[in-house]
Amino acid sequence: MNLHIPENYSGVIPGREKNPRIAGVSSPVEKKILLLSKNWKPHAPEHEIQNKGYETSACLDFSGSDCLEYLFNFYKENNKFSPELLKWFNDKGYIVNGKFNFSDRLAANYSDIIPLSGTYQYKANDALCKYLIPESMLPYTTIGKYENPDTTPGGYFNRNAITQEMLDLAKEFNKRITVDWYYEENPTTGLFSSPLQCIGRYADGDCILKPEGAWNHGLCIPNEEEDYFDIDDSYTVQFKKYGKNYVGSFVGYSITINDITMNIQEFLTTNDLKWVQNETTGQFARIMQKKLRPINSKDRGALILLDEKVRSNKIVKDNKEIPAKITNAEWELLPKDDF
């Protein structure tokens, strides 16, 4: 199969969110130096193609998923997961032939993709970090085109194919692992911590590629050389070389292994009527009647007052009084109801 990108293709809508999360500036993620060689290629995942007869326009989901698979394979191959967690990954089907393989399709269904225009980088990465299930659970389908997602059974973007079991497993995954993403302004140092997603213009060839024109494609960078980046692409040719001035808008990823041993009932009882904040997402909530009551307001005045409330009260966890912030894993564990 040798499929080429359509002439009118774009998988990327340019632009960032209102308050972009930039590493070392506005992102809460603490980057870790993981790989001094900065060469992630030995941890390469299975090559997956975004066009198997029709264009999904999901390059940002495929490239982001590739980055995560490189990172998870590195963690596995360097014994950073406990035996219990590794067994859970295997039992649930996340690891196939020794490598992690996440479903690109589930995240793509929640990325607001427009046919042949794609989506925003932040929308794809927000979806990826939230919806991680095994590829085998929701694989690529060659049935049906994007243009008729509701009328074509099994079509790639038909949400009728998404089951509650899939969504529940994604939640269980997030209880065990918190995955974050951030914009990386220095790719040379960023590769110490993560393979990088980037944006460039699609091209093929054995030389160092320097395609002119509008950037239209999401790519994965697993390695850097002196005058080019190695590229892992989601088209027929997996590995390519791109000149360093011909890609940009870099994104890195982080993995946090969560402690899920919280005594839920004790925490809810001890902290009744306290205000708390999710330290990852920034969302506020109040603990009432043994449930977490998330606040979904976008009113800036209300959020300022909630921030003051959180700063002025403490919570008790593990018999210690601490600032009123909880991890995303703890947030996910707690029973919830609307405020």
Query: What ranges do the domains of the chain cover?
Result: 41-257, 264-333
Instruction: In whole angstroms, give the CA distance from residue 216 to residue 14.
Output: 9
Report pLDDT for 143. Answer: 61
| CATH of region 41-257, choose from 3.30.470.10, 3.90.70.10, 3.40.190.10, 3.40.640.10 | 3.90.70.10
Report pLDDT for 280. Answer: 74
Report pLDDT for 261. Answer: 66
Q: Tokens 């070392």 appear where?
A: 24
SS3 303: helix
Instruction: Report residues of the chain scoring pLDDT below 70.
Output: 1-4, 142-154, 259-261
Report pLDDT for 281. Answer: 81
Report pLDDT for 28. Answer: 76
Q: Tokens 């490239």 appear where?
A: 63
Q: Tokens 């790639």 appear where?
A: 156
Report pLDDT for 292. Answer: 95
φ, ψ at 316 (rounded to 5°): -115, 125
Report pLDDT for 260. Answer: 65
**Prediction pTM value:** 0.79
Sign, Cα dihedral of 125, 131, 135, 139: negative
